[in-house]
Structure 1
Amino acid sequence: MQNITLQVEGMSCNHCVNAVEGTLKNIGASGKVDLASKTVDVSFDESKVSLEAIKEAIEDQGYDVK
């Protein structure tokens, strides 16, 4: 299991939290959003989902992954 913290710009409310955490769950990862620090702590199995796929899924929701 891989754990990484991503800097994500554009999140500002609970809708943003649900959108990001929900999309991660849909692709087989789990995430915990911290609005104050604009970060997402992500846990994922590298054999099932790539870091690039995770970043793309978040960006598809309208957020900017740094």
Structure 2
Amino acid sequence: MSQTTYIVTGMTCGHCVDAVSGSLRALAGVRQVDVDLATGRVTVTSDDALPTDEVRAAVTEAGYELATDNGGRS
């Protein structure tokens, strides 16, 4: 299992959280997505580490921007 935390900008409401979560859950191997709307932190738990470009594409497709990935794996 891999867990990585990203910063997503532009989320302002529950609909935003649902859009980002749904887009990320569609990626192969994703088991769980936790979003903290107040901080913009999105923690993704997956079978293996996800390529950042795939995560960025999923977030962009949902209409938001991946600001950073802090490499926070646990």
User: What secondary structure does 2:12 align onto?
Assistant: coil
Gaps of 5+ in 1: none
- Mapped to 2, the partners of 1:46 and 1:59 lie a distance apart of 21
TM-score (norm 2): 0.76
> SS in structure 2 opposite 1:11?
coil
More helix by share: 1
RMSD of aligned alpha carbons: 1.6
Name the counterpart of 2:33. 31
Partner of 1:45: 47
TM-score, reference length from structure 1: 0.83
The whole-number CA distance in structure 2 between the counterparts of 1:31 and 1:51 is 15
- Aligned-pair distance for 1:27? 1.5
Higher-RCO chain (CA-CA 8 Å, sequence separation at least 6)? 2
Give the Cα–Cα distance (whole angstroms) in 2 for the partners of residues 21 and 7 of structure 1: 13
Counterpart in 1 of 2:3? Answer: 3
Q: Secondary structure at the match of 1:21?
A: helix
1:50 offset after TM fit, Å? 2.7
Greater mean alpha carbon deviation, residues 49-58 or residues 9-18: 49-58
Aligned residues, how many?
Answer: 65
In the other structure, the counterpart of 1:15 is 15
- State, as a whole percentage, how many aligned pairs show the same letter: 35
Structure 1 stretches of 4+ with a deviation exceeding 2 A read 49-52
